[in-house]
């Protein structure tokens, strides 16, 4: 093969207009089939947790662009996970099918747990708040009985954002943002995150004050020269603004309550109605709750969790050797525990902050012992997605419940499906021929 996609073609993949993205993707797919463009051979690399620009992607990537990056760089599988929205699911899975890429899709949200209201879980500085996920989605639309839960999730997000903007506007005057005018247009779906608010305030400062570096130094109680050094690239400054203005102790922070976040039960109801899988999210093992990891995961499993998400890079790729050793030890322990509890692993780099890798380095000495478990987890969610999307025979289906009642056996089955089903349209056509009266053994034989 020869050649690489030009910058204009890549820019079209990230365009806000869906028809432009779709056209660019078809063009890229045609170039690959004609062997006019280079893609790397498939290798044992996966990233199942990438945010798209429907929530916040630090590089502005759309679902189509992420599917292409996975195909271009030879990833075995790629998955998206967006905060609070499902807008990218259809686009991403369709793009994976067109490109011949194994794919999955998920949703992430913050929920409030009254049982842990006084303890920090996995959202730093926010007692009772828990990042939580659903993986293995097969479409952007939801059943009618789940629509209200999705609408309620969006309502709570906007309510928190608007209150945060109100508080920060009072503090940063004359730098102010208008939520509808300055924030909502930053995301194609009109569902912004805290990271979008940061971008809006940076832009507002540029157009309002003569010396943005001096302004931010004063607002953040930081050294002006330090802030000036951050401005050309901005990632570090964005992190500082978010930490000092929006997190606990900042003027914009709103103390979490049961009214500001959805409940775990409501979020699980939404996930299960979509035929998807409730998935725990583990940070790094340092919070009071995560230090009691056996208790914590057991509590979640009792409430329907069937998988565990990890962000490997932040748990080993740390400069301080003491911190690295502690985090790696915690990572090994939580992986061991997940396997004991029959929780497949779901990994990725997120890509929602500048500097994050496109894919984890699974050849790193710290991750090499875990690589097979990570790959099996990717195949697991890919297998569920393939069967649910084409035949309605996913992990949560009545077929699976009656024929594969044991969790470990069910996990192994969907992992094998993910390994056996060819990526792309060939695999979709193959799975579509399966019949609901087949046994799991017959399904695997057919594949």
* Nearest partner of 347 among 304, 303, 316, 390, judged by Cα: 316
Q: Measured between alpha carbons, how far is 333 from 207 in angstroms, rounded to an integer?
A: 49
Please indicate, yes or no, whether residues 237 and 327 belong to a single structural domain of this protein: no
Grouping H, G, I as helix, E, B as strand and the rest as coil, residue 238 is helix
Q: Measured between alpha carbons, how far is 66 from 78 in angstroms, rounded to an integer?
A: 8
The residue among 246, 265, 288 that closes a domain is 246
pLDDT at 3 (0 to 100): 63
Runs of H (alpha helix) within 34-127 = 63-72, 89-99
pLDDT at 1 (0 to 100): 40
Asked if the structure places residue 434 within a domain, the reply is yes
Asked if the structure places residue 301 within a domain, the reply is yes
Please indicate, yes or no, whether residues 311 and 390 belong to a single structural domain of this protein: yes
Q: Measured between alpha carbons, how far is 24 from 11 in angstroms, rounded to an integer?
A: 9
Structurally, the chain folds into a number of domains equal to 2
Asked if the structure places residue 55 within a domain, the reply is no
Q: Which residues pair with 345 in a beta bridge?
A: 308
Quickly list DSSP for 293-326.
HHHHHHHHHHTT--EEEE-GGGGT--SSHHHHHH
Please indicate, yes or no, whether residues 134 and 157 belong to a single structural domain of this protein: no
pLDDT at 342 (0 to 100): 98
Please indicate, yes or no, whether residues 127 and 168 belong to a single structural domain of this protein: no
Asked if the structure places residue 98 within a domain, the reply is no
Please indicate, yes or no, whether residues 232 and 351 belong to a single structural domain of this protein: no
Q: Measured between alpha carbons, how far is 145 from 260 in angstroms, rounded to an integer?
A: 22
Please indicate, yes or no, whether residues 158 and 283 belong to a single structural domain of this protein: no
Please indicate, yes or no, whether residues 159 and 136 belong to a single structural domain of this protein: no
Q: Quick one: how many helices (H) and strands (E) in the chain?
A: 17, 7
Please indicate, yes or no, whether residues 402 and 280 belong to a single structural domain of this protein: yes
Please indicate, yes or no, whether residues 295 and 396 belong to a single structural domain of this protein: yes
Please indicate, yes or no, whether residues 191 and 231 belong to a single structural domain of this protein: yes
The domain in which residue 175 lies consists of: 152-246
8 Å CB contact between 43 and 32: no
Please indicate, yes or no, whether residues 316 and 348 belong to a single structural domain of this protein: yes
Please indicate, yes or no, whether residues 412 and 379 belong to a single structural domain of this protein: yes
pLDDT at 92 (0 to 100): 98
Asked if the structure places residue 86 within a domain, the reply is no
Asked if the structure places residue 174 within a domain, the reply is yes
pLDDT tens series, the chain, 447 aa: 456 777 788 899 999 999 999 999 999 999 999 999 989 999 999 999 999 999 999 899 999 999 999 999 999 999 999 999 999 999 999 999 999 999 999 999 999 999 999 999 999 989 999 999 999 999 999 999 899 999 999 999 999 999 999 999 999 999 999 999 999 999 998 889 999 999 999 999 999 999 999 999 999 998 998 888 888 667 788 889 998 999 888 999 888 888 899 999 999 999 999 999 999 999 999 999 999 999 999 999 999 999 999 999 999 999 999 999 999 999 999 999 999 999 999 999 999 888 889 999 999 999 999 999 999 999 999 999 999 999 999 999 999 999 999 999 999 999 999 999 999 999 999 999 999 999 999 999 999
pLDDT at 233 (0 to 100): 65
Asked if the structure places residue 389 within a domain, the reply is yes
Asked if the structure places residue 257 within a domain, the reply is no
């Amino acid at each position: 093969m020869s050649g690489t996609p030009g910058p204009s073609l890549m820019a079209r993949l990230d365009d806000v207009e869906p028809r432009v993205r779709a056209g660019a993707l078809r063009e890229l797919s045609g170039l690959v089939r004609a062997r006019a463009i280079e893609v790397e051979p498939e290798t044992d690399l996966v990233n199942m947790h990438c945010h798209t620009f429907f929530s916040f992607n630090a590089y502005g990537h759309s679902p189509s662009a992420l599917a292409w990056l996975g195909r271009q760089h030879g990833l075995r599988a790629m998955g998206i996970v967006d905060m609070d929205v499902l807008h990218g699911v259809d686009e991403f899975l369709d793009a994976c099918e067109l490109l011949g890429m194994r794919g999955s899709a998920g949703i992430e949200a913050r929920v409030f747990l009254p049982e842990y209201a006084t303890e920090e879980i996995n959202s730093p500085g926010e007692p009772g708040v828990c990042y939580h996920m659903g993986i293995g989605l097969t479409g952007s639309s939801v059943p009618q009985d789940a629509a209200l839960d999705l609408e309620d999730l969006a309502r709570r997000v906007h309510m928190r954002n608007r209150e945060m903007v109100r508080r920060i506007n009072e503090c940063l005057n004359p730098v102010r943002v208008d939520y509808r005018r300055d924030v909502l247009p930053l995301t194609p779906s009109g569902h912004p995150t805290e990271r979008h608010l940061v971008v809006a305030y940076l832009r507002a400062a540029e157009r309002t004050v003569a010396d943005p570096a001096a302004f931010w130094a004063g607002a953040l109680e930081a050294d002006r020269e330090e802030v000036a050094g951050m401005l050309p690239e901005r990632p570090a400054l964005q992190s500082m603004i978010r930490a000092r203005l929006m997190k606990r102790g900042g003027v914009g922070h709103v103390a979490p309550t049961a009214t500001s976040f959805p409940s775990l039960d409501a979020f699980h109801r939404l996930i299960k109605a979509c035929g998807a899988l409730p998935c725990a999210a583990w940070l790094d093992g340092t919070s009071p709750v995560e230090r009691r990891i056996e208790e914590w995961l057991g509590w979640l499993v009792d409430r329907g969790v069937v998988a565990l998400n990890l962000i490997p890079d932040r748990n080993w790729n740390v400069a301080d050797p003491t911190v690295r050793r502690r985090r790696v030890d915690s990572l090994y322990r939580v992986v061991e525990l997940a396997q004991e509890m029959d929780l497949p692993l779901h990994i990725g780099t997120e890509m929602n902050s500048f500097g994050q890798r496109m894919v984890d380095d699974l050849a790193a000495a710290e991750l090499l012992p875990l690589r097979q478990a990570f790959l099996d987890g990717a195949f697991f969610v890919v297998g569920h997605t393939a069967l649910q999307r084409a035949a309605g025979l996913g992990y949560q289906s009545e077929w699976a419940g009656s024929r594969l009642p044991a969790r470990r056996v069910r996990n192994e089955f969907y992992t094998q499906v993910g390994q056996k089903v060819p990526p792309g349209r060939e695999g979709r056509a193959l799975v579509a021929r399966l019949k609901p009266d087949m046994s799991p053994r017959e399904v695997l034989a057919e594949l």
